[in-house]
Every structure is written in structure tokens, then in C-alpha cells.
Amino acid sequence: MLFDLHVHTDISPCSSLELTTILTRAKGLGLDGVCLTDHDTMEVLSEVKEGVQNDGLVVIVGMEYSTPEGDYLIFGPFESIRPGMNAFELAAHVYRAGGAMIGAHPYRLTRPADLAAYGPEGCRIVEVANGRNTRSENARALSLAEKHSLAMSAGSDAHTLEELGRLPSKMLTKVHSREDFVAALRNGLFRPSRLACANGLPHLQVA
Ligand SMILES: [Zn+2]
Ligand SMILES: [Zn+2]
């Protein structure tokens, strides 16, 4: 199953991508699922029924949480989360709640992460292919994942329809709900898709 793990609706001030556009176009772009990850809010839950849609598209709601140590995509059995945590507090909070987190674009020049937040006690999944990164920012994220043996994901970071679905991840298990999705993340059952590598990280070869 191909999922775009990093998508902003126009609830995020920087995005012009309407929820209805995502819902009507995602399947046609080859996606089986989309994760809606607006900045610091899961407000989109009031506008969409999460899970399997009429056309079979799977919609998962998480958020991109900003910390002084970088941005993190978080998913879990929560509908809101206390603002203002640092990355270390956030990781502890998310894992304690039974959730999962992905370090978004750790080397983006304008929004770099503190790499101390990555590792067994902190963020264990790195977004190695982000559609808004330069190829060198993605290549550096890949090196970070390899150096610390962290799991790797891809995501378009779409803010427009043109970006949606460009860098999907492949889910290696069936995902129909947020619960399934979080379990897949926690169990490492995902990887960047071939398309994501071609579009964002041509040096990474995946089977
Ligand atoms: Zn970000
Ligand atoms: Zn983003």
C-alpha cells in the first residue's frame, strides 16, 4: 500500500491544498492512503471521517509538531496534545501514549533539527525523502538514519496538489485505521517507495 505520510491541508497557514481536493484526487495519483499532518493541530478531524473512505482511500490524522529541536510527525491514540514540549519531552509523551513519531526533514536549512533528539530513546524514524527538501538535505537525512540504524520514511510534505503523492512510503502491512498505521510505524513495517527514491533520493536503492 502506498501512503503519503506528510500532507498539509489548508488548515496549515502555509498550505493551499483543500481537504476535498486531497480526498478526491489521492486515489487517482496512485495513493492508497494519506496522512494529514497539519502544523500543531489535528483540527481536520472535525471535517473528515478517519479511516477508509468510499473510494477505498485510507485517511490517517496526525500532526507536524514544532519543537525548538525540529519538526516531528506524530501519530497516536490522541486527538490533541499539549503544546510547547521540546523534542525529548515529546518523544517520551508520544511513546508513553502508545504512539509513534517521525523526524521531519532533519537537515532542512530553514528548520534544522537537533540531532541529539534522534536515537533509541528519542526519535527512531527519519524522513529521508521529503518532497520540499533539496537532494542534499535528503542525502544527509539518509546518512543520519544509516549512522544510527534508524528506520526510514518518505513523505511529500505537500502544500499544493502538484506535490501530493510525489514521495510516498510503502506500507508493508494492511493499514485501514490509525491504530493499524501506528502499529505499522512501531513495528517498522514501512519504507520509502521506489517512486519516493526516484523523486527525492536517487542514490537510495530499495527492493
Ligand atoms: Zn516542517
Ligand atoms: Zn510539513
CA of 8 from ligand 2 middle (Å) equals: 6
- The answer, yes or no, to whether residue 151 has pLDDT greater than 90, is yes
Mean pLDDT of 63-85: 96
- The residues placing their C-beta within 5 Å of ligand 1, an ion, are 71, 104
Residue 206 lies in a domain: no
- Number of structural domains in the chain: 1
CA of 183 from ligand 1 middle (Å) equals: 23
CA of 163 from ligand 2 middle (Å) equals: 12
- Residues counted in the chain: 207
Mean pLDDT of 120-144: 96
CA of 131 from ligand 2 middle (Å) equals: 10
Q: How far apart are the first and last CA of the chain?
A: 15
pLDDT at 204: 83
pLDDT band at 205 (very low <50, low <70, confident <90, very high): confident
**Global model pTM greater than 0.85:** yes
Mean pLDDT of 98-107: 98
SS3 readout for the chain: CEEEEEECCCCCCCCCCCHHHHHHHCHHHCCCEEEEEEECCCHHHHCCCCEECCCCCEEEEEEEEEECCEEEEEECCCCCCCCCCCHHHHHHHHHHCCCEEEEECCCCCCCCCCHHHECCCCECEEEEEECCCCHHHHHHHHHHHHHCCCEEEEECCECCCCCCCCCCEEECCCCCCHHHHHHHHHCCCEEECHHHHHHHCCCCCCC
Strand partners, 74: 63, 101
CATH number at residue 151: 3.20.20.140
pLDDT digits (tens, 9 = 90+) for 28-45: 999 999 999 999 999 999
Residue 205 lies in a domain: no
- The answer, yes or no, to whether residue 203 has pLDDT greater than 90, is no
- The answer, yes or no, to whether residue 19 has pLDDT greater than 80, is yes
pLDDT digits (tens, 9 = 90+) for 160-178: 999 999 999 999 999 999 9
Which range of residues forms the domain containing residue 49? 2-200
